Amino acid sequence: MSRVLALDYGDSKIGVAISDPMRIIAKPIKVIKNSNFNSVLKEINNIIIEFQIKEILIGFPITLKNKKSIQTEKVIKFIDLLKENIELPIHSYDERLTSKMAINSLILQGVKTGHNKKDIDKTAAAIFLQNYLDDPTK
């Protein structure tokens, strides 16, 4: 039994979600300010220790036409930096449309999304983490 940490990488914020220890339920927990890699790495390491994380999942942004974008290249660089600094399995997972799903989910919950961008980022991380947890082919 071990938790998975999901990160929804963005230029200014990184949405964070974790699984429960049995890897059944994903839960959004916070947003990390993406000011520089060292501060991001410190926050990620604190989460790894606090929640006893054993695996990291990074949202991989592919366009609807199944092509890489500028953001895809930034995520690849971020994954490479994490792999150089963290000794846990690190995987990427398709995050297409998760931000739209997060917005719809929050609206259904009565959360105003215009002023709650952080909620969108961490909810998007929870959505692709839940998809990963539910994926029987992983």
| Domains, the chain | 3-134 (3.30.420.140)
Q: How far is CA 98 from the centre of its chain?
A: 10
Contact between 12 and 24 under an 8 Å Cβ cutoff? The reply is no
pLDDT tens digits, residue range 54-91? 999 999 987 767 788 888 999 999 999 999 999 999 99
Residue type, 134: D
Cα 108–111–114 angle (5° rounding)?
115
Residue 26 and residue 137: Cα distance in Å, rounded? 18
- The residue length of the chain stands at 138
Backbone Cα Rg of the chain: 14
Task: Please give the structure tokens belonging to residue 94.
Answer: 């398709």
Ranking 48-52, 103-107, 130-134 by mean pLDDT, the lowest is 103-107
What separation in angstroms does the CA of 104 have from each of 30, 64, 100, 113? 19, 19, 6, 9
Ranking 11-15, 66-70, 116-120 by mean pLDDT, the lowest is 116-120
pLDDT tens digits, residue range 26-39? 999 999 999 999 99
Supply the pLDDT for residue 98.
Answer: 66
pTM: 0.84
Which H helix or E strand runs over 108?
helix 98-108
